[in-house]
């Protein structure tokens, strides 16, 4: 019997098994106004650390501070941010032995990231990931991102 070669596996398509079934994590990078700049797709069970590297290397030389949530509180990430000469505004996890302080005033700006995700998830297709392949899902995320950029492009 002849078997057809597999076109893509779950890991390649950004699908992962978690408590809720097959899920995906969308890691995003945005500017100070909440406009999306880049995306990385990882399987649902993957830790946030896996999505950090590609996003940080996209525009690492153009930023002054990196705002992230507790999921990105790892010594390796902090070392990479520090090596690039960027300020890390990441709150320490509750289980960290020696808590690292962060700038609470700057951390308040992280709501722009959360609002960007909220606007993207208004598109049902992004919120529920109907697309089977990674390319088609990220393509639609890019289309929704363009829609978020339009008001800024046509400012008077």
Contact 128, 44 (CB under 8 A): no
99-to-20, 90, 91 alpha-carbon distances in Å: 32, 11, 8
Ordered domains of the chain (ranges, CATH):
20-143 (3.30.420)
Per-residue pLDDT of the chain (156 residues; tens, 9 = 90+): 555 545 556 666 666 666 666 778 888 888 888 899 889 888 877 777 778 888 888 765 678 888 988 888 889 999 999 998 889 999 998 888 888 988 999 999 999 999 999 999 999 988 888 888 888 899 999 999 999 998 887 765
């Amino acid at each position: 019997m002849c078997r057809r070669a597999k076109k893509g596996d779950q890991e390649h398509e950004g699908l992962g098994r978690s408590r809720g079934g097959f899920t995906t994590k969308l890691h995003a990078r945005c500017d100070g106004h909440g406009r999306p700049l880049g995306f990385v797709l990882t399987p649902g069970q993957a830790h946030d650390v896996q999505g950090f590297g590609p996003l940080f290397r996209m525009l690492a030389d153009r930023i002054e501070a990196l705002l992230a949530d507790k999921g990105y509180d790892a010594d390796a990430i902090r070392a990479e941010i520090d090596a690039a000469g960027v300020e890390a505004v990441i709150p320490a996890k509750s289980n960290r032995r020696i808590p690292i302080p962060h700038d609470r005033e700057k951390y308040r700006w992280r709501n722009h990231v959360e609002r960007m995700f909220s606007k993207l998830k208004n598109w049902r297709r992004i919120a529920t990931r109907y697309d089977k392949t990674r390319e088609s899902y990220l393509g639609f995320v890019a289309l929704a991102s363009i829609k978020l950029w339009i008001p800024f492009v046509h400012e008077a």
